[in-house]
């Protein structure tokens, strides 16, 4: 879970430091403000979810601060303390929306309990807003991070299909978590005590794939010095995960179809077939639909595999999950790499939430690992991000070189020509690959394609 962010407001530096040090030590991300006015500014800057504030402060006092804060950000939990409070003050504080009032001097352990309760209260309120569907086996799905609608439907789907023995086809871009989902389906199924066996069809040379899948008998081919069982048999009573199924060659596709249809396989070189009890999950990041149309993938096998189709959304389609993923991976790598990076500042969160993530969750996970190792401690700021994420490309041609002629000229056609030249150059650099060209121009691929259509530009024509 994301580390809770707490702001301490107190004009007395000693108390402030003391409380801040204690809460940091307890694992919260703590920020400080020296009075109510300063606090109101820092709330937005640090995106905090809780405030612990003194009452007696110059400029804007604690009560006024809570009133103002609640009128704009009612969901922020506020805890107030003071040495001088009376009944009237306490009543006013609670009326203004304070969650709790503590009298000074207070015990720090007591403060921590109140902070904890405040955060729980906030979480409950958030939950009732969202009305999450009931996911019974959340614990088993815990390592699949996501709260976006699309992920919640995915969790429901995974739960529903796990107990059936039907074949599942998981599709999605690279790095969206296909293998993770396949694992979860196995773990939630009645086969959980059996083996989960994975085979990446693209990683094994075509001529070896058949024996890898179905096994072989001794002497079946040169090099078959002993009889060996294949992945199907290893997965007997369990689950076989066939990754990158789109890379399987046509002759094997036929053999696979036969096994899926009648549960019997023939090891290479064997005279007899064997029965196996295997649930198959296949995955691919290719468009199998299209491959069926172009006859690169057998239609009958496609239908046999996709009895239950699951589509994983690319990360850019669930960007509200980005902050959650960033913080979860931060916690994970802080622990495994023994670092103490506190978190991402607001600007970094914003930049990364708007980034396209072509490599999806894998790319995000790798970035966080790298940032945690390089930074070691403190808060991650924009300076820590690699250029690619900062959008920090040099603004292409230098505008001061362009001079308006005395006679003037047509702005629209000049801009148009400028754009055409850059697009054609990007296409030339990428060897005609539109995805890469779009990346060079910091455009979405679909935007580039639209522009090409509209402008009737032909990739390959010379940018003049």
Ligand X SMILES: Nc1ncnc2c1ncn2[C@@H]1O[C@H](COP(=O)(O)OP(=O)(O)OP(=O)(O)O)[C@@H](O)[C@H]1O
Q: Which residues bind Mg ion (CB under 5 A)?
A: 179
The three-class DSSP label of residue 137 is coil
Which span (102-110, 114-122, 141-149, 454-462) binds ligand X, by CB under 6 A?
A: 141-149
Among 48, 50, 198, 361, binds ligand X (CB under 6 A): 361
Residue 179 vs 436, nearer CB to Mg ion: 179
Interaction mask 76-95, ligand X, x per CB under 6 A: --------------------
DSSP state of 138: G
Q: What is the DSSP string of 316-369?
A: GGGGGGHHHHHHHHHHHHHHHTT-EEEEE-HHHHHHHHHS--TTHHHHHHHHHH
Residue 180 vs 192, nearer CB to ligand X: 180
301 is in the binding site of which of ligand X, Mg ion, none (Cβ under 5 to 8 A by kind)?
none
Closest CB to ligand X: residue number: 177
Shortest CB 313 distance to ligand X, Å: 10
4 binds ligand X (CB under 6 A): no
Tell me the sheet residues that pair with 341. 378
Among 146, 238, 313, 343, binds ligand X (CB under 6 A): 146
Q: Which residues contact 59 (CB under 8 A, 6 or more apart)?
A: 35, 36, 37
Residue 178 vs 298, nearer CB to ligand X: 178
Helical axes 360-375 vs 322-336, angle rounded to 10°? 50
46 is in the binding site of which of Mg ion, ligand X, none (Cβ under 5 to 8 A by kind)?
none
Which span (83-91, 102-110, 360-368, 397-405) binds ligand X, by CB under 6 A?
A: 360-368
Residue 10 vs 243, nearer CB to Mg ion: 243
What angle (nearest 5°) sits at the alpha carbon of residue 381, between those of residues 375 and 387?
A: 85
Shortest CB 160 distance to ligand X, Å: 18
Tokens 């709790």: give the residue: 100
Closest CB to Mg ion: residue number: 179
User: Distance of CA 196 to CAs 113, 171, 240, 305, Å?
Assistant: 43, 19, 6, 18
Residues that bind ligand X (rule: CB under 6 A) add up to a total of 16
Among 39, 140, 145, 301, binds ligand X (CB under 6 A): 145
Q: Rounded to an integer, what distance in angstroms lies between the CA atom of residue 194 and that of residue 196?
A: 7
Residue 178 vs 274, nearer CB to ligand X: 178
Shortest CB 387 distance to ligand X, Å: 23
- Determine the straight-line distance between the first and last CA of the chain, rounded to whole angstroms: 53
DSSP β-ladder status, 100-103 and 196-200: unpaired
61 is in the binding site of which of ligand X, Mg ion, none (Cβ under 5 to 8 A by kind)?
none
Interaction mask 253-292, ligand X, x per CB under 6 A: --------------------------------x-------
285 is in the binding site of which of Mg ion, ligand X, none (Cβ under 5 to 8 A by kind)?
ligand X
Shortest CB 242 distance to Mg ion, Å: 11
146 is in the binding site of which of Mg ion, ligand X, none (Cβ under 5 to 8 A by kind)?
ligand X
Among 365, 424, 439, 441, binds ligand X (CB under 6 A): 365
| Residue 208 near residue 325 (C-beta atoms within 8 A) | no
Q: Rounded to an integer, what distance in angstroms lies between the CA atom of residue 77 and that of residue 52?
A: 9
Shortest CB 367 distance to ligand X, Å: 12
362 binds ligand X (CB under 6 A): yes
Radius of gyration from C-alpha coordinates of the chain = 30
51 is in the binding site of which of Mg ion, ligand X, none (Cβ under 5 to 8 A by kind)?
none
176 is in the binding site of which of Mg ion, ligand X, none (Cβ under 5 to 8 A by kind)?
ligand X
Residue 179 vs 419, nearer CB to Mg ion: 179
Which span (33-41, 87-95, 340-348, 361-369) binds ligand X, by CB under 6 A?
A: 361-369
Q: Rounded to an integer, what distance in angstroms lies between the CA atom of residue 147 and that of residue 143?
A: 12
Query: Contacts with ligand X in 161-180 (CB under 6 A)?
Result: 172, 174-180
Instruction: Determine if the peptide bond prior to 105 is cis (ω within 30°).
Output: yes
Nearest Cα neighbor of 247 from 213, 209, 215 is 209
**Assign residue 243 a region: left if phi > 0, alpha if psi is -120 to 50, beta otherwise?**
beta
Which span (109-117, 143-151, 400-408, 445-453) binds ligand X, by CB under 6 A?
A: 143-151
Q: Cα 113 vs. chain centroid, distance in angstroms? A: 32
Shortest CB 162 distance to ligand X, Å: 17
Residue 32 vs 360, nearer CB to Mg ion: 360
| Residue 75 near residue 29 (C-beta atoms within 8 A) | no
Tell me the sheet residues that pair with 344. 380
Q: Rounded to an integer, what distance in angstroms lies between the CA atom of residue 353 and that of residue 347?
A: 10
DSSP β-ladder status, 239-243 and 279-284: parallel
Tokens of 225: 């010095």
Nearest Cα neighbor of 5 from 345, 267, 435 is 345
Binding site for ligand X (CB under 6 A): 143-146, 172, 174-180, 285, 361-362, 365
């Amino acid at each position: 879970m994301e580390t809770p962010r707490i702001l301490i407001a107190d004009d007395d530096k000693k108390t402030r430091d003391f409380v801040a040090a204690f809460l940091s030590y307890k694992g919260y991300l703590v920020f400080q403000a020296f009075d109510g006015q300063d606090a109101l500014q820092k709330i937005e800057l640090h995106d905090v979810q809780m405030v612990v504030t003194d009452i007696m402060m110059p400029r804007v006092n604690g009560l006024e601060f809570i009133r103002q804060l609640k009128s704009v950000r009612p969901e922020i939990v506020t805890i107030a303390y003071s040495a001088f409070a009376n009944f009237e003050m306490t009543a006013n504080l609670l009326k203004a929306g304070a969650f709790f009032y503590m009298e000074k001097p207070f015990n720090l352990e007591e403060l921590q309990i109140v902070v904890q309760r405040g955060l729980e209260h906030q979480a409950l309120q958030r939950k009732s807003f969202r009305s999450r569907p009931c996911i019974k086996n959340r614990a088993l799905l815990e390592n699949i991070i996501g709260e976006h609608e699309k992920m919640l439907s995915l969790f429901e789907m995974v739960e529903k299909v796990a107990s059936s023995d039907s074949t599942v086809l998981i599709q999605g871009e690279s790095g969206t978590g296909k293998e993770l989902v396949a694992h979860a389906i196995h773990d939630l199924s009645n086969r959980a005590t059996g083996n989960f066996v994975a085979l990446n069809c693209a990683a094994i040379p075509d001529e070896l794939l058949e024996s890898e899948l179905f096994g072989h008998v001794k002497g079946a081919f040169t090099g078959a010095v002993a009889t060996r069982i294949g992945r199907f048999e290893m997965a007997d009573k369990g689950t076989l995960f066939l990754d990158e199924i789109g890379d399987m060659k046509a002759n094997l596709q036929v053999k696979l179809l036969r096994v899926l249809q009648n549960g019997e396989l023939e090891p290479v070189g064997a005279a007899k077939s064997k029965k196996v009890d295997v649930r198959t999950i296949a995955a691919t990041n290719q468009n199998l639909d299209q491959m069926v149309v172009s006859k690169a993938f057998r239609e009958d096998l496609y239908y046999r595999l996709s009895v239950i189709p699951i589509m994983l959304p690319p990360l850019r389609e669930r960007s509200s999950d980005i902050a959650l993923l960033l913080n979860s991976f931060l916690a994970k790598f802080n622990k495994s790499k023994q670092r103490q990076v506190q978190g991402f500042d607001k600007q970094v969160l914003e930049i990364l939430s708007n980034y396209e993530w072509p490599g999806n969750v894998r790319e995000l996970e790798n970035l966080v690992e790298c940032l945690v190792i390089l930074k070691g401690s403190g808060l991650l700021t924009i300076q820590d991000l690699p250029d690619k994420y900062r959008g920090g490309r040099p603004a292409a041609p230098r505008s001061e070189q362009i001079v308006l002629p005395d006679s003037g000229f047509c702005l629209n056609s000049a801009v148009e020509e400028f754009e055409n030249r850059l697009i054609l150059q990007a296409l030339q650099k990428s060897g005609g690959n539109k995805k890469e060209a779009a990346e060079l121009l910091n455009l979405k691929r679909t935007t580039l394609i639209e522009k090409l259509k509209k402008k009737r530009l032909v990739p390959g024509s010379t940018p003049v």
